[in-house]
Structure 1
Amino acid sequence: MKHDLKRGALLLASATFFTAALNALQKLTGSSLPALEIIFFRNLFSLPFVLLIASRTGIILKTHHFGGHVLRSVVGLISMIMVVITVTRLPLAEQQVLSYTQPLFLVLLSIPLLHERPSLQRWIAVSIGFSGVIVVALGKGLLHGAGGAVPSWAYFVALAQGAVGALTTMQIRQLSATEASTTIALWQAILMTLMTALPLPFIWTTPGMTEAACLVAVGAFAGIAQVLQTEAFASAQVSAIGPFAYSGLLWAALIGWFGFGEIPGIAMVTGGLLIIGSGVWMLRHDRPAKQKAVAEGTMDAATGTPP
């Protein structure tokens, strides 16, 4: 793979912009339309973009782990519902920063599910990250029962969404051992569209012209974000461009500020820096181990020793 850091970073930052934009549109429509209806259109209109990605390497739907795809789609659907619920009630920047707890939960879930033993550096990073969550909570008075105009439970749902998002990542890891990434993406898009279509007749709320345009844009932005992210990770190493994924907080803060009048507070900024810092630390910590593995593999190849 040709390593183009500048191109990969630009593409990943652009992907986070479209993700922040679709969250803003979900915030606009979430107050008047059911979450499942929004998610249906998100998956429906993003499907052409998923097909575009898959067509580059070949569209393969054949699988020996259909049950795994169903379970992954159910968990992914729960995560999407939680996102719509939280962006509707929380400032965009706060929802975004709490979603960055996903790598922290990924470390915790790797112990019982993958039987991994996290290093001391990872445990320190997790501790720093969750201290950032406490700072955000203290800033809103949640630990003292004074959540203000925003319901306290919305913050806990946003935090839980980080855990559910980590679980979906874990499921993708397990499926990718035998399934192509495009196959996983295709089944996710198809199954989520079907799952949300089933209850649609019972929850349907006819959108207005503006809402309908927002729903189409939500799906298009989700698809564009996925294409950009795929191209980004195809352009450069994940450990090198991974930190640019946190640029989503900047986009969310700017859109929230100018679009909804949401001004980030000191506690949110401080807590966000702690959470993002822990995530970047874990990404940087992974790089030396990978480089060492590559170097050892190269040396083994040169000496004729099997790795």
Structure 2
Amino acid sequence: MHAPAPSSSPIHQSLFARSAPVLAVVAGIATFSMMDATIKGASLAVGVYTALLLRNLFGTLMTFPLWLAAGRPTPTRPVLTVHVQRAAITSAMAALFFYGLARIPMAEGMALSFLSPIIALYFAALLLGEKIRPQAILASLLGVVGVVVILAGKLGGGEYSQQAVQGTVAVLVSSVFYAVNLVLQRKQALLARPVEVAMFQNLGVTLIFLAFSPWLAVVPDLRSLGFILAGAALATSALLFLSWGYARAETQVLLPIEYTGFLWAALLGWLMFGERLGMATVAGTLLIVAGCWIGARNASHTS
């Protein structure tokens, strides 16, 4: 009799070990893009405030069982301060981003948000004492040129309304907050486990938004509520995908995958909102991504 064949060869196991983190991050980026689309749909119906308040409330409820299963990790006072700081930054970032996304196409919003890693280089220098090198300046210039190309394509074609201009400015300001968020995220990751971070992040943002509920909250219809609930589930799933992937592969390997978010945003914007993709947006995005890539290579070479 022949011995049974092994279920998988060492080569196959090695291939899976290399490809699984990449696939997990691809899934995480796709899931986050779907979350953006659902929350944009809800924001158009009930407003950005209600959509984000309920998304984070549902996210807290979904994360709570995971936090209990992890042994209810409770932050010390210094760590809680970091949680509160990041929740405040995230609240401003999300409100501005989805305010803008409700007024401009998803692909453009995603492209403009790619400026965040470039801006983060300067915040890292300011807050962490890192040295700004010539490559970072080149990355910044490429990013700025990319934004100019995107805006010139729209303004030159007469496609930008006043609301679209406001939306673009909101996304650009959101990118600055997101850059601060990236720096705080590194600090937070050194102080707390992922489940604790997710729990207190969702809870903190929910409490901040709740403070404005007497003036801004509206009762959502069932369709909008479904979008918001789906957005909370997608955001939680994306967090798990990305955490699993980044724990198993180097950041420099996974970083380029972040830019697939533009493709997902373009596809979902077309399918859900009938948004068209212009050549100026594509060209500007390529310049911004090139700047991010140069900045990332600079960071990896000096770390």
TM-score class, shorter-chain normalisation, is: 0.7 to 0.9
What's 2:103 paired with?
Answer: 89
- Structure 2 counterpart of 1:128, from 139, 142, 158: 142
1:152-207 alpha-carbon deviations (Å, 9 max, x no partner): 12111111111100111222233444444443332211111222233334433222
What's 2:212 paired with?
Answer: 199
State how far apart, in whole Å, the 2-side matches of 1:119 and 1:55 are: 44
What's 2:114 paired with?
Answer: 100
State how far apart, in whole Å, the 1-side matches of 2:158 and 2:172 are: 17
Judged with a 3 Å threshold, the aligned counterparts in structure 2 of structure 1 residues 128 and 12 are, in CA distance, closer, same or farther, namely same
- Structure 2 counterpart of 1:137, from 142, 151, 157: 151
In the alignment, structure 1 residue 232 sits paired with structure 2 residue 245: yes
Judged with a 3 Å threshold, the aligned counterparts in structure 2 of structure 1 residues 54 and 169 are, in CA distance, closer, same or farther, namely farther
In the alignment, structure 1 residue 267 sits paired with structure 2 residue 263: no
State how far apart, in whole Å, the 1-side matches of 2:46 and 2:261 are: 25
| Cα displacement (A) at 1:276 | 1.2
State how far apart, in whole Å, the 2-side matches of 1:266 and 1:7 are: 33
> For residue 126 of structure 1, what is the amino acid of its counterpart?
S
In the alignment, structure 1 residue 213 sits paired with structure 2 residue 226: yes
Structure 2 counterpart SS, 1:264: coil
Judged with a 3 Å threshold, the aligned counterparts in structure 2 of structure 1 residues 68 and 286 are, in CA distance, closer, same or farther, namely closer
What's 1:74 paired with?
Answer: 88
| Cα displacement (A) at 1:39 | 1.1
State how far apart, in whole Å, the 2-side matches of 1:139 and 1:53 are: 46
* C-alpha contact 1:41 1:218 (8 A) present in aligned 2: no
Instruction: Report the TM-score, using the length of structure 1 for normalisation.
Output: 0.85
| Cα displacement (A) at 1:80 | 0.9
State how far apart, in whole Å, the 1-side matches of 2:247 and 2:65 are: 15
| Cα displacement (A) at 1:56 | 7.4
State how far apart, in whole Å, the 2-side matches of 1:241 and 1:67 are: 30
Gapped regions of structure 1 (runs ≥ 5):
291-307
- Structure 2 counterpart of 1:154, from 167, 172, 176: 167
State how far apart, in whole Å, the 2-side matches of 1:96 and 1:14 are: 17
State how far apart, in whole Å, the 1-side matches of 2:46 and 2:144 are: 33
Gapped regions of structure 2 (runs ≥ 5):
1-13
State how far apart, in whole Å, the 1-side matches of 2:70 and 2:222 are: 37
State how far apart, in whole Å, the 2-side matches of 1:230 and 1:118 are: 28
1:271-293 alpha-carbon deviations (Å, 9 max, x no partner): 00111122123333444445xxx
State how far apart, in whole Å, the 1-side matches of 2:222 and 2:188 are: 40
> For residue 286 of structure 2, what is the amino acid of its counterpart?
L
In the alignment, structure 1 residue 28 sits paired with structure 2 residue 54: no
- Higher alpha-carbon deviation: 44-53 or 83-92: 44-53
What's 1:276 paired with?
Answer: 289
1:83-123 alpha-carbon deviations (Å, 9 max, x no partner): 22011111000001111110011012223222221222222
Structure 2 counterpart SS, 1:151: helix
> For residue 111 of structure 2, what is the amino acid of its counterpart?
V
> For residue 285 of structure 2, what is the amino acid of its counterpart?
G
| Cα displacement (A) at 1:228 | 0.8
